[in-house]
Amino acid sequence: MSKNKIYKPKPISGFPEWLPEVRRAEQAWFDHIRAVFESYGFCNIETPSVEELDAINAKGGDGESDADKEIYVIERLHKEEGDKEARLALHFDQTVPFARYTAQHFNELVFPFKRYQMQRVWRGERPQAGRFREFYQCDIDVINVDSLPLAFDAEMPAIIWEILSSLPGMENETIQIRVSNRKILMGFLESLNIPTRDGGTTKLSDEIISEIVRDIDKLDKMGEEIILSRIDQTGSQAGLGFGLDGSIKPFIKICKQKFTNGEDLEEALVNDANINTSNPTLKEGMRELSFVMNQLSHLPEGAVVADLSIVRGLDYYTGTVYETVFTDDPGYGSICSGGRYDDLAGNYINKHLPGVGISIGFSRLFDRIRQKGTLPVKGVSPADVMVVLPSEEVRSLMMQTAQALRANGNKVETFHSPAKLKKQMAYAEKKGIPYVWFPDLDEVKNMETREQTKANPKDWKHDEN
């Protein structure tokens, strides 16, 4: 034993780590997500953990958060004199690295480029409950040169539904993917003729439109009343003394509703809210949203709904947008978000690369289900069976038995010291290994039923069901 002073380790706030049995459940989640992504033909990429700081600054992500203010830079502890290397920063999302990757390898990629990416990202937020500084995201995106079929916008929610509805431990969660198209809101706001104090009318400026969009993004959290009063205040400050909330109120009413298809939504806009839907941007948005919803009609009712309050940030997304919530806890926020963007990598390459993507906030979701206690946690050991060592003389037979069992595709532990059988069994029990094998007896014991039967290691296979 060391005589040094002992440094007692403690958790680092925001940097989670799991016990082996929880990590096993986490691996099962990654395996499941990967399998679904690949079943739709998405290929995987990994990018380095770092980007050049200058590259990050050239593009600030999807504008969703103040992530760029939370950047971690890395630096050698013992720098050498004259070090003139570029400053490197840990990536805070997978969008910036994906854009940089696509630009850098543009000539070697096949388009449409469909990739998934499941890596850690880092954000130096203030430590707080439910917030991680290091966490996994699982992203898929499809990008193409110049134009990308709208059908991909429908593929994203289909994939996400398939994943989330069958993640182990999520069986009793009711989740809902909420879809909108930003063109509807933008077209509506563009089309408004707002009365001014001097008795005329005016169009809303881009700046005011941006502020209203930001407000509507908060509708779910803050409620209709607060949002309407904020919008009215925005109007007043801009010299639009009256009428702003009045013009927008009917639209907000529709924003609060969920629709199972685009036609019902359009009808509500026209008939219930008396909104003029002739604006071309609004029209295009309605057409796109209807197509996407229509493509998703095979999913269970309520799995995907059209919801005009979904906005997602400000500049990055240009069409379809997605959020995903627990319907019994919408205040928890979105667990999976994304949308259509017009140009992925314009800051890195002189190509027009429209795309659509979606991202699962993996670690936050996993931790929620873990804390709820519904995560199916199997034993610590992945082994199907443990071969005991009744005495030193049996060692060679034990090893042969274990190899024969492995050759059949079983996962096998061996107990390497000829301890009392009781102790060996207790070890298998504690590690959650479902079967114990007695090589000297050619017998296997089911640790749950305690049943012990004759068996041949050459043809025994653990049936996991």
Q: Are 140 and 363 in contact (CB under 8 A)?
A: no
Under rule CB under 8 A, residue 423 binds a copy of itself? no
Please, what is the minimum distance in Å from the beta carbon of residue 338 to a copy of itself? Answer: 17
Tell me if 90 contacts a copy of itself by CB under 8 A. yes
Using the contact rule CB under 8 A, the part of the chain among 110-118, 168-176, 230-238, 315-323 near a copy of itself is 110-118
Q: Please choose, from the candidates 376, 331, 325, the residue with its C-alpha nearest in 3D space to the C-alpha of residue 173.
A: 325
Q: 137-156: which residues touch a copy of itself (CB under 8 A)?
A: 149, 151-152, 155
Positions 431 through 450 that interact with a copy of itself (CB under 8 A): 431, 433
CA distance 279 to 262: 17
Q: Which is nearer to a copy of itself, 24 or 178 (CB)?
A: 24
Which residue among 131, 221, 372, 416 contacts a copy of itself (CB under 8 A)? Answer: 416
Q: Which is nearer to a copy of itself, 43 or 226 (CB)?
A: 43
371 binds a copy of itself (CB under 8 A): no
Number of residues that bind a copy of itself (CB under 8 A): 103
Applying CB under 8 A, does 100 fall inside the site for a copy of itself?
Answer: yes
Minimum Å gap between C-beta 36 and a copy of itself is 9
Distance CA 97, CA 103 (A): 10
Q: Indicate which single residue of 81, 82, 84, 108 sits in contact with a copy of itself (rule: CB under 8 A).
A: 108
Q: Please, which residue, 3 or 454, has the CB nearer to a copy of itself? A: 3
CB of 224 to a copy of itself, least distance (A): 36
Strand (E) or helix (H) holding 118: strand 113-122
x-marked contacts with a copy of itself along 332-351 as a string, rule CB under 8 A: -----------x--xxxxxx
Q: Which of 56/227 has CB closer to a copy of itself?
A: 56
Contact 336, 358 (CB under 8 A): yes
CA distances from residue 283 to 188, 191, 263 in whole angstroms, order as listed: 9, 11, 12
Facing residues of 454 across strands? Answer: 443
Binding of a copy of itself by 120 (CB under 8 A):
yes
Name 198's Cβ contacts closer than 8 Å, sequence gap at least 6. Answer: none
Alpha-carbon distance 92 to 64, whole Å? 12
Name residues contacting a copy of itself, limited to 240-299 (CB under 8 A).
295, 298
CB contact at 8 A, 118 and 136: yes
**Interaction with a copy of itself in 10-69: which residues (CB under 8 A)?**
10-12, 15-21, 23-24, 26-27, 38-55, 58-59, 69
394 binds a copy of itself per the rule CB under 8 A? no
CA dihedral 65, 66, 67, 73 (to 10 degrees): 180
Q: How far is the CB of 27 from a copy of itself (least distance, A)?
A: 6
Residues within window 209-238 making contact with a copy of itself, judged by CB under 8 A: none
**Minimum distance, C-beta of residue 324 to a copy of itself, in the bound complex (Å):** 21
Closest CA to 389 of 362, 425, 355: 425
Q: Which amino acid is at 433?
A: I
b/e per residue 317-353 (b: at least 16 CB within 10 A): bbbbbbbbbbeeeeeebbbbbbbbbeebbeebeebeb
458 binds a copy of itself (CB under 8 A): no
- Give the number of other CB atoms < 10 A from CB of residue 83: 8
Record the tokens describing residue 149, joined without a space. 């079929």
The residue among 256 and 431 lying less far from a copy of itself, judged by its C-beta, is 431
